[in-house]
Amino acid sequence: MTLLTTPLDALHRELGAKMVPFAGYDMPVQYPTGIIKEHLHTRAAAGLFDVSHMGQVIIEGPGAAAVLESLVPVDIEALGIHRQTYALFTNERGGVLDDLIITRWSAQKFFLVVNAGCKVQDIAHLESHLRGQELTVLHEQALLALQGPTARQVMRTLCPQAAELVFMQGCPASIDGVDVYVTCSGYTGEDGFEISVPAGHAGTLARQLLRAPGVQPIGLGARDSLRLEAGLCLYGHELAPDIDPVQAGLLWSISKTRRADGDRPGGFPGADVIYRRIAEGVSRRRVGLVVEGKRPVREGQAVMDAQGRQVGAVCSACFGASVGGPIAMAYIERTLGEPGTALSVDVRGTQVPVTVTRMPFTPQRYYRG
């Protein structure tokens, strides 16, 4: 199978990136400094990520907000202009087809960013529910993410208008005469920005950002460890068609107006199933695990209780460079999900002690003004 490439492919290779297949793309997993240093640099200064493999989509036309509300449990009608919301595409069983970010550009025009591995099915899902609205896939747009505590200082020099944004807000802007769309968002738990830029200008902008003081290129490896420390879900790990928002600990992503006792209840796939699970509870839940010692645990390994009974499974794991040790997320029996509960993970027959902990593992530092 031939892998797709992003507009920054040549730059990644020039910078010495180790390239790996990911969601059908040839992507940089790390640069010569390595994942741990890249992770720590993003927490201390600013990291530049190529996320051009993500899907960028515009839906516009009369009734566009209603179409989106028929697919996600979010109060789209109340979303302000140039404001963003996290959303979930749900299925009829209450499970998750994908998670995405929706930004309102105007009364009936919305900008969506969906996951790379799901974008083909997401676009088909959206198209099957259109009722005269127009859907445009932005094939010629790249997407760059600048993340970290000094990212705002960099943007203040490069694009002062964007530097005034607060978390989950966006704006159209111009950088050196190139029209871009900038949002204050990201996937690291840090303050930062995502920049949608025409593909033909992506390399120039990326090089300009990398020349700024304190900015270094960061690969997918550190992106994953950063998001895990921040307690953020990854589709295919914490989210899947058989995992509902209640199990995933994402009840906050269901707007109050769209809940069973809200002003506009239901209307999205699986609503009744989700409402029932909210009312009755679920048998398993997503939790954070701190691993005792330095031995790592892996996705798919069994989580055991004190009696040696399997009570769940690891869904994501990594070395938490900011935490200073191995961490993981897992789905376990709900009754064992209280912070401080002692469990273990079966690592090739050895029981590695773990403790249930609150997430995020490291504080989120989004800029809210």
| CA atoms of 328 and 212, how far apart (whole Å) | 34
| pLDDT tens per residue across span 255-271 | 999 999 999 999 999 99
Structure tokens at 307: 């009696």
The CA distance from 60 to 104, in Å, is 10
224-247 tens-digit pLDDT: 999 999 999 999 999 999 999 999
Cα-to-chain-centroid distance, residue 37: 21
Taking each helix axis from N to C end, the angle separating 35-44 and 220-229, rounded to the nearest 10 degrees, works out to 60
Sheet holding 215-217, edge to edge: 170-175, 178-183, 192-198, 141-147, 46-50, 215-217
Question: Left if phi > 0, otherwise alpha if psi is -120 to 50, otherwise beta: which for 302?
Answer: beta
Mean pLDDT confidence for 266-277: 98
Q: What pLDDT is attached to residue 1? A: 79
- Would you state the pLDDT for residue 210? 98
In this predicted structure, what is the pLDDT of residue 122? 98
pLDDT number for residue 78: 98
Q: How far is CA 159 from CA 11, 28, 37, 139, in A?
A: 22, 26, 28, 24
Rounded to whole angstroms, how far apart are CA atoms 87 and 109?
16
The burial class, CB within 10 Å (0-12 / 13-18 / 19+), for 3 is middle
Question: What is the reported pLDDT for 363?
Answer: 97
For residue range 3-23, what is the model confidence (pLDDT) as tens digits?
Answer: 999 999 999 999 999 999 999
Domains annotated for the chain, with CATH where assigned, are 1-282 (3.30.1360.120), 283-369 (2.40.30.110)
* pTM for the model: 0.97
Write the pLDDT tens digit of every residue in 70-101: 999 999 999 999 999 999 999 999 999 999 99
Give pLDDT, residue 42: 98
Q: Whole-angstrom Cα distance, residue 329 to residue 318? A: 9
DSSP symbol at 169: B
Pairing of strands 215-217, 46-50: parallel
pLDDT digits (tens, 9 = 90+) for 120-177: 999 999 999 999 999 999 999 999 999 999 999 999 999 999 999 999 999 999 999 9
Q: E strands within 148-191? A: 170-175, 178-183
Q: What tens digit of pLDDT does each residue of 20-41 get? A: 999 999 999 999 999 999 999 9
Instruction: Kindly report the average pLDDT of the chain as a whole number.
Output: 98
Euclidean distance between CA atoms 187 and 193, whole angstroms:
10
Cα-to-chain-centroid distance, residue 201: 25
Average pLDDT of the segment spanning 324-347: 98
Please answer whether residues 208 and 219 qualify as being in contact, where contact means their C-beta atoms are separated by less than 8 angstroms: no
Per-residue model confidence (pLDDT) at position 283: 97
